[in-house]
C-alpha cells in the first residue's frame, strides 16, 4: 500500500507535464472524411510521401501546426471550412407617420428570413438576427369565457365589452378583430336544478368568429345564459386546445393573436378524465361540428405541455383574466406557458378592458426566440443585444424585455455541429419570436467529406490490384481488406507467417512491443503526447528517448531521430549540449586560448565521460558520493587529487584561468548526472571541483526518496522489535490447562504373595 501511495504521489506530481491529448490522433481516422469530423483543429495530409516507415494511415490526421512541423506543406493539407449564405434578407419595416395602411403579409419584423449554413464539425457558424416591433400591427383577440353559474355577474359586464374594447384597441392598431367563445365542463350529468335558469353544461362553443364588428360581439354575448358544473375545476383546457388548433373556424390571421381566458375557478388537466371513465389522451386535433366540441366525452383533458406546444405552434399569446382567489394557481401556470400573462379580475369583471390592455402591453414589450427541434449532434447558442445596451447569454440570450413599438433589438445566433448526421443529408430548422407568425428558415448542410474525396479513384491499382479507392493521398480499403495499400484480407492479419516479418532479428517481440503487425507490416502505436512518435520498420525508433541536457531533449539544440540526437549547426555532443563556437575563446592575438590551451568548451558545457579520464570519473564518484566501482578501495586508489565540492554548476571554475581546465559530466548507475572539472594548477597539483548534488530525473528522485524512507522505517521497526524482545519477561509457570499425554496405572495385586491351595 505504501508503494502504491508513493507511486500515486509520483504520478500526481508529474501529471502537470503531460500535454493535453491530441483529439485528432486519438480518433484514429482512416480517411480524410473521418478526420475532419473529429474537430475543427484537425487536418489531413494528402502528400503521398508523407508517411514514414511504420506509420499508420491514420497518422495523416493531425493538428494543422503539427502537420506543418512534420513537413506537410499547406497546399497538401485538406482543411475545409464552414460557410453561410443569406438567401432572403428583406429589411424590417420602417413606417413613417401618415403612410398608408399595409397588408399584414407586407410587414416585416424579423431579418434575415432565410439562409443556408455549411457546418464543419466543431466549428460554429454565427449570424445576426434583427427584430423590430412594427407600428400599427394588426391584432386578433379571442375572448374565451367560463359560463359556469359562479360567473353570472361577470357575464353582465362582458355584454358591452365588444364596442368598448374596439375603441381602446384603436389607440394601438387600426386593424383589430374580436371573437367570442365559452366553456363549462364535459357533459357527464346535468347539474342544473329545475328552479335555475341555466343551460346544460358543454365543453366548448365557438359563438363568434373573429370580426371587426364590436356591436355584433355585444349582441351575441347578451344572448348567453350561464350553466352549471359538478365540481369546482372547469374544463377550460379542452376549450383552449380547440381555439388553438381550429384556426379556420376561429378565423385566425397571420397577425398578433391574443387569447383572453376568463374564469373564477381552477382547471382540469390530463388524467382527470378517468374520474368520468375517459381514458384516451387528447389527440390535439380540431373536433368542431356546428361550432361545438363534439369529442369531449371521448378524449381526456390535454396536458399542460400539450397546450404549450399547440399555443406555440399557432403563435397564440394567452392572457389569463382570473379572480383574486385563483391568482397563485394561474401564476404558476403562466411560468409554464411562454408569452402568457395573468391579470386580476374584479368581482364582476368591470376592469376587464384595462386588464387586457395592460396584459397586451406587457406581452408586446418582450420578445423571446425559440427554435424548432435540432438534428442530432447540433447545438445552438443565443446572445442578445437589447435596448439601452442590455446584453444576455445562455437562456437569457433568447429574449429582450422593455421594448416599445418601433424599437430594434439584435441577437447573435451560433449553430455548431458536433458530428455528421447518419445520412449526411441537409436539415432545416426554424427560429421565430414566440407569439409572432414570422420566422427564420435555416438550411443546414454538413461537411462530412473532404474536397479531395470527389477525385477518388475507385478500384485503383495503387490499392493492391483494385482492393480500395485511392483518395486524398491514401487508400480507403474495400470491405474485408486492410493495410496501407489494402494488401491483406482481414482473415490473414493474425497468421503466424505474417507475424514473422514483424519481428526484428527473429526475436520474440512483435514490432518491438511498440506497434501492431498488420499484413506483415508494423503499424506503430500512438503516444499520449502528440509530439512523441514511434517509427521504423519494426517500430524500434522513437523521437523522445534521446539524451537530455538542462532537462531538454537534445539540449534544445537539435531533434531526436531513432533515439539519437541530430544537432543543429555549431552544436555537438550526445545531447547537443556542446557548442562549437570558438569566438569567446579568442585572445587579443586572435589565437584560440592564446595558443597555450586546447579548446574544450567556452560556455562551460560538459563533455561526456569518454572525453574525460575514466579513472578520474570513478574516483570522483566514490569520493564525492560514496558510490561507483571504487567505493570499497576509494581511500587507497583515489587520493591523488584534491576534491572541492561546490553547490551548483554555476560555482564550478570557468575557462579563462592560467591553467588547463576540463569540464566533464557522467551518468551513474541510477541514471543521475554528476558534473565536475579536472585541472592541474600552477603548483602541479590535481584539483577536482564537483557539484555536491546529483541531477536525477524527477521520477527517479521520488523513488530514491521513497526507498530511503522505507529503509529508515524498516530499521526503526526492527530496532523496536529487538527492544521489545529484550524487555519481555517470560513466565515459566506451567500452563494450568496443560494436560500431560502420559497416564500411569498400577496393578492392585502387584507385590502381594500368592495364596497357597
Given its phi and psi angles, is residue 243 left (phi above 0), alpha (psi -120 to 50 degrees) or beta?
alpha
Collapse the DSSP code of 47 into the 3-class scheme (helix H, G, I; strand E, B; otherwise coil) and give the result. coil
Q: How far apart are CA 339 and CA 243, in angstroms?
A: 17
What confidence score (pLDDT) does residue 589 get? 60
pLDDT at position 10 over 50: no
Cell of 686: 590535481
Q: Is 614-691 the same fold as 139-367?
A: no
What is the pLDDT confidence band of residue 369, given thresholds at 50, 70 and 90? very high
Average pLDDT value for the chain: 82
Measuring CA to CA, which residue among 325, 372, 365, 362 is closest to residue 341?
362
Place of cell 347578451: 222
Q: How far apart are CA 448 and CA 151, in angstroms?
A: 62
Q: What is the mean pLDDT of residues 275-303?
A: 91
Q: How far apart are CA 666 and CA 662, in angstroms?
A: 13
Q: For residue range 202-243, what is the model confidence (pLDDT) as tens digits?
A: 889 999 999 999 889 888 888 888 776 655 678 889 999 999
What confidence score (pLDDT) does residue 719 get? 84
What confidence score (pLDDT) does residue 603 get? 40
Q: How far apart are CA 620 and CA 608, in angstroms?
A: 14
Measuring CA to CA, which residue among 567, 557, 563, 560 is closest to residue 531?
560
* H or E segment to which residue 679 belongs: strand 673-680
Cell of 284: 390535439
Collapse the DSSP code of 532 into the 3-class scheme (helix H, G, I; strand E, B; otherwise coil) and give the result. coil
What phi and psi, each to the nearest 5 degrees, are found at residue 484?
-60, -35
CATH of domain 548-595: 2.10.25.10
Q: For residue range 442-470, what is the model confidence (pLDDT) as tens digits?
A: 999 999 999 998 888 888 888 888 888 89
Classified by CATH at the fold level, domain 83-95+105-135+369-447 comes out as: Immunoglobulin-like (2.60.40)
Give yes or no for a contact between 132 and 406, defined as CB atoms under 8 angstroms apart. yes
Cell of 525: 502505436
Give yes or no for a contact between 245 and 273, defined as CB atoms under 8 angstroms apart. no
Q: Is the dihedral of CA 214, 219, 220, 222 positive or negative?
A: positive
What confidence score (pLDDT) does residue 53 get? 77
Q: How far apart are CA 82 and CA 255, in angstroms?
A: 36
Q: What is the mean pLDDT of residues 495-508?
A: 74
Measuring CA to CA, which residue among 82, 85, 83 is closest to residue 114?
85
DSSP assignments along 572-635, one per residue: ESTTS-EE---GGGB-TTS-BGGGTS----TT---B-GGGS-HHHHHHHHHHHHS-STTTTSHH
Give yes or no for a contact between 594 and 612, defined as CB atoms under 8 angstroms apart. no
Measuring CA to CA, which residue among 529, 555, 557, 551 is closest to residue 542?
529
Q: Given the DSSP bridges, would you call strands 367-371 and 399-400 parallel, antiparallel or unpaired?
A: antiparallel
pLDDT at position 611 over 50: no
Place of cell 576534491: 643
Q: What residue spans define the domains of the chain? A: 20-80, 83-95+105-135+369-447, 139-367, 548-595, 614-691
Cell of 586: 579568442
Cell of 630: 571504487
What confidence score (pLDDT) does residue 616 get? 74
Q: How far apart are CA 34 and CA 419, in angstroms?
A: 10
**Residue ranges in 185-252 assigned as alpha helix (H):** 214-222, 236-245, 247-250
Percent of the chain at pLDDT exceeding 90: 29
Specify burial of residue 653 (Cβ count, 10 A radius: 0-12, 13-18, 19+). Answer: middle
Give yes or no for a contact between 147 and 227, defined as CB atoms under 8 angstroms apart. yes
Q: For residue range 673-725, what is the model confidence (pLDDT) as tens digits?
A: 888 888 877 777 888 889 998 887 666 667 778 888 888 888 888 888 887 77
Q: How far apart are CA 643 and CA 137, in angstroms?
A: 98
* H or E segment to which residue 316 belongs: strand 316-323
How many CB atoms within 10 Å of residue 133?
19
Domain 139-367 has CATH 3.30.360.10: no
For domain 614-691, which architecture applies?
Answer: Irregular (4.10)
What confidence score (pLDDT) does residue 14 get? 37
pLDDT at position 191 over 80: no
What confidence score (pLDDT) does residue 272 get? 85
For domain 20-80, which architecture applies?
Answer: 2-Layer Sandwich (3.30)
- CB neighbour list of residue 584: distance below 8 Å, 6 or more residues apart: 602, 603
Measuring CA to CA, which residue among 32, 40, 22 is closest to residue 72?
32
Give yes or no for a contact between 702 and 10, defined as CB atoms under 8 angstroms apart. yes
Q: For residue range 92-114, what is the model confidence (pLDDT) as tens digits?
A: 988 764 566 788 888 899 999 99
Beta bridge partner(s), residue 148: 227
pLDDT at position 672 over 60: yes
Weakest mean pLDDT among 196-200, 258-262, 544-548, 549-553: 196-200
Weakest mean pLDDT among 391-395, 396-400, 580-584: 580-584
What phi and psi, each to the nearest 5 degrees, are found at residue 111?
-150, 135
Q: How far apart are CA 593 and CA 604, in angstroms?
A: 14
Using the CB atoms, write b or e for 560-587: b if 16+ within 10 Å: beeeebebeeebbbbbbbbbeeeeebee
Q: How far apart are CA 155 and CA 291, in angstroms?
A: 20
Amino acid at each position: 500500500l505504501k508503494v502504491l501511495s508513493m507511486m500515486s504521489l509520483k504520478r500526481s506530481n508529474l501529471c502537470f507535464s503531460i500535454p493535453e491529448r491530441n483529439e485528432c490522433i486519438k480518433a484514429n481516422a482512416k480517411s480524410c472524411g473521418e478526420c475532419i469530423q473529429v474537430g475543427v483543429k484537425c487536418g489531413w495530409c494528402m502528400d503521398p510521401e508523407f508517411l514514414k516507415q511504420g506509420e499508420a494511415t491514420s497518422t495523416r490526421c493531425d493538428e494543422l501546426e503539427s502537420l506543418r512541423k512534420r513537413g506537410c506543406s499547406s497546399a497538401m493539407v485538406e482543411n475545409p471550412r464552414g460557410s453561410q449564405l443569406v438567401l432572403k434578407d428583406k429589411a424590417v419595416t420602417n413606417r413613417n407617420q401618415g403612410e398608408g395602411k399595409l397588408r399584414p403579409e407586407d410587414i416585416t419584423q424579423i431579418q434575415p428570413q432565410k439562409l443556408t449554413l455549411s457546418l464543419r464539425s466543431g466549428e460554429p457558424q454565427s449570424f445576426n438576427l434583427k427584430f423590430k416591433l412594427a407600428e400599427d400591427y394588426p391584432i386578433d383577440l379571442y375572448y374565451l369565457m367560463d359560463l359556469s353559474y359562479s360567473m353570472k355577474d361577470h357575464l353582465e359586464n362582458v355584454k358591452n365589452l365588444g364596442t368598448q374594447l374596439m375603441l381602446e384597441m384603436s389607440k394601438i392598431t387600426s386593424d383589430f378583430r374580436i371573437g367570442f367563445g365559452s366553456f363549462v365542463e364535459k357533459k357527464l350529468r346535468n347539474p342544473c336544478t329545475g328552479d335555475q335558469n341555466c343551460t346544460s353544461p358543454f365543453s366548448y362553443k365557438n359563438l363568434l368568429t373573429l370580426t371587426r364588428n364590436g356591436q355584433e360581439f355585444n349582441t351575441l354575448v347578451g344572448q348567453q345564459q350561464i350553466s352549471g358544473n359538478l365540481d369546482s375545476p372547469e374544463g377550460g383546457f379542452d376549450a383552449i386546445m380547440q381555439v388553438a388548433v381550429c384556426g379556420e373556424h376561429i378565423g385566425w390571421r397571420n397577425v398578433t393573436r391574443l387569447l383572453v381566458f376568463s374564469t373564477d375557478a381552477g382547471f382540469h388537466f390530463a388524467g382527470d378524465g378517468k374520474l368520468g371513465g375517459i381514458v384516451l389522451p387528447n389527440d390535439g386535433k380540431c373536433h368542431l361540428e356546428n361550432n361545438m366540441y363534439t369529442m369531449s366525452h371521448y378524449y381526456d383533458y390535454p396536458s399542460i405541455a400539450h397546450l404549450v406546444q399547440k399555443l406555440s405552434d399557432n403563435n397564440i399569446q394567452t392572457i389569463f383574466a382570473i379572480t383574486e382567489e385563483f391568482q397563485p394557481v394561474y401564476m404558476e401556470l403562466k411560468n409554464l406557458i411562454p408569452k402568457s400573462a395573468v391579470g386580476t379580475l374584479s368581482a364582476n369583471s368591470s376592469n376587464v378592458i384595462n386588464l387586457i390592455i395592460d396584459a397586451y402591453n406587457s406581452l408586446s414589450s418582450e420578445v423571446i426566440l425559440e427554435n424548432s427541434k435540432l438534428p442530432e449532434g447540433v447545438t445552438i447558442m443565443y446572445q442578445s443585444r437589447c435596448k439601452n445596451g442590455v446584453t444576455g447569454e445562455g437562456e437569457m440570450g433568447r429574449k429582450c424585455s422593455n421594448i416599445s413599438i418601433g424599437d430594434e433589438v439584435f441577437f447573435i445566433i451560433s449553430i455548431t455541429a458536433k458530428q455528421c448526421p447518419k445520412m449526411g443529408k441537409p436539415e432545416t430548422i426554424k427560429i421565430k419570436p414566440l407569439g409572432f407568425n414570422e420566422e427564420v428558415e435555416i438550411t443546414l448542410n454538413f461537411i462530412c467529406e473532404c474536397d479531395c474525396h470527389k477525385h477518388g479513384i475507385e478500384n485503383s491499382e495503387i490499392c493492391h490490384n483494385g482492393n480500395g479507392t485511392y483518395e486524398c493521398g491514401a487508400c480507403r480499403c474495400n470491405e474485408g481488406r486492410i493495410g496501407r495499400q489494402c494488401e491483406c484480407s482481414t482473415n490473414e492479419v493474425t497468421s503466424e507467417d505474417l507475424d514473422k516479418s514483424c519481428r526484428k532479428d527473429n526475436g520474440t517481440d512483435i514490432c518491438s512491443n511498440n506497434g501492431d503487425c498488420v499484413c506483415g507490416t508494423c503499424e506503430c502505436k500512438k503516444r499520449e503526447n502528440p509530439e512523441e512518435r514511434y517509427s521504423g520498420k519494426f517500430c524500434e525508433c522513437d523521437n523522445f528517448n534521446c539524451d537530455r541536457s538542462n532537462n531538454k531533449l537534445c539540449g534544445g539544440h537539435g531533434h531526436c531521430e531513432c533515439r539519437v540526437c541530430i544537432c543543429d549547426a555549431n552544436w555537438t555532443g550526445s545531447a547537443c549540449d556542446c557548442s562549437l563556437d570558438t569566438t569567446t575563446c579568442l585572445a587579443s592575438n586572435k589565437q584560440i586560448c592564446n595558443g597555450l590551451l586546447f579548446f574544450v568548451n567556452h560556455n562551460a558545457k560538459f563533455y561526456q565521460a569518454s572525453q574525460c579520464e575514466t579513472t578520474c570519473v570513478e574516483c570522483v564518484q566514490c569520493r564525492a558520493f560514496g558510490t561507483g566501482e571504487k567505493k570499497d578501495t576509494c581511500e587507497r586508489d583515489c587520493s591523488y587529487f584534491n576534491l572541492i565540492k561546490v553547490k551548483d554548476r554555476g560555482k564550478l571554475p570557468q575557462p579563462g584561468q592560467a591553467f588547463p581546465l576540463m569540464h566533464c559530466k557522467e551518468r551513474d548507475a541510477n541514471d543521475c548526472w554528476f558534473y565536475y572539472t579536472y585541472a592541474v594548477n600552477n603548483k602541479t597539483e590535481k584539483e577536482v571541483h564537483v557539484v555536491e548534488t546529483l541531477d536525477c530525473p524527477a521520477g527517479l528522485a521520488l523513488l530514491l526518496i521513497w526507498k530511503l524512507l522505507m529503509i529508515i522505517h524498516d530499521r526503526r521497526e526492527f530496532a523496536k522489535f529487538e527492544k521489545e524482545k529484550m524487555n519481555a519477561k517470560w513466565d515459566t509457570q506451567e500452563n494450568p490447562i496443560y494436560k500431560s499425554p502420559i497416564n500411569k496405572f498400577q496393578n492392585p495385586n502387584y507385590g502381594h504373595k500368592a495364596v497357597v491351595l
